[in-house]
Structure 1
Amino acid sequence: MSLKKSILIIILVLLVDQISKVYIKTSFSLGDGVKVFDWFQILFVENEGMAWGAKIPGEYGKLFLTVFRLIAIVGIGYWLWDSVRKKASRVLVVAIALIFAGAFGNIIDSVFYGLLFNDSHHQVATFLPADGGYGTLLHGKVVDMLYFPLWKGYLPEWLPFWGGKFFTFFDPVFNIADMSISTGVGLLIAFNKRAFPKKEIEA
């Protein structure tokens, strides 16, 4: 698979990801949502840290995370270029392109959204507000909106630790970039032998 085709995949994912995020950010206030089906909602939340809402504590935790993401994206980009150069399998190149696109999409939020938008608490944010954004460079929040509460209810009392507690499956809220990363990783797992074929050892 050529580098041009992999770049096209990255551009398409980034466009869908960023268009959806800008729309949500400029159309909803934080916590607002739309129920599409019982098992699917559009719900606007912001993620200040890593996946699953985890955070790095401390004053410079957010800055460290963003810098780490920037370093990681360089590594993923090199992996993609090197895989294309070595004529790796199509599934590997597609998977890396999806992972790169998703990581880059969330990096855009982390790096620039603090400057580009004002706060979304109790109001719909404005793009390029006259009085400045809600944060500084490298301190933006990642916009999430896809919510799939497939099942909600109380767990059986006999379950250890969680018995009798209210439980939602699936609870995390995510975005197109997260889906792209998950799809790329899923391809690597599902088609591991095609993605990383073993070289035959000559006798």
Structure 2
Amino acid sequence: MPLDQFWLKGRASFLACHLLLGILQGGFIPGLVLYMSYFYTKTELPIRTAIIWASSHVCHIIATFLAYGIFHLNGVGGKAGWQYVTLVCSENGLITLAIGVASFFNMPPSPTQTKTWFRPKGWLTEREEVIIVNKILRDDPTKGDMHNREPVTLKRLWSAVCDYDLWPLYILGIVSAIPTDPPSAYLTLSLRHVGRV
């Protein structure tokens, strides 16, 4: 989907595109934390999660500088500068696509499955695999039944939506970014409108 925002023409296509992005990307953070829990214990996981959040902010800083330069392509090929920015730097741009493809090949399913056709020796020795698996199972014995690897079906998704005990978590997830995300995304535009930039 790296080209979808590049071709946006108006409000309706913008809203449809971002609705689709929200649906497709909504499970990324929970899925990533679940994936990391295959390798790290509950005491090791917070620092790894903090590194991910910190790296996200570093990426935003780098993307801002890239976007500034790319925005100057305004008018090239009859396209606006923002279209080139979304093509390269956005959450579904070409850089993200390249990282996603690389991640697909570099993220093994588990500590015992690091060997592939392009990495025949794997990342871990057999002894290291045993150590990691034992450490994870001692930390959380429920991981031994592998129910966390079952796919999400529409029935399970609907069951989760209808579970009113989870509703406070959903509400927090929806509103938690409201105080910070719009100002960080649109601060420069807001300041320009009031004559500060």
**TM-score after normalising by structure 1:** 0.29
The structure with the greater share of residues assigned to strand is 1
Which of these two proteins has the greater Rg computed from alpha carbons? 2
**TM-score after normalising by structure 2:** 0.30
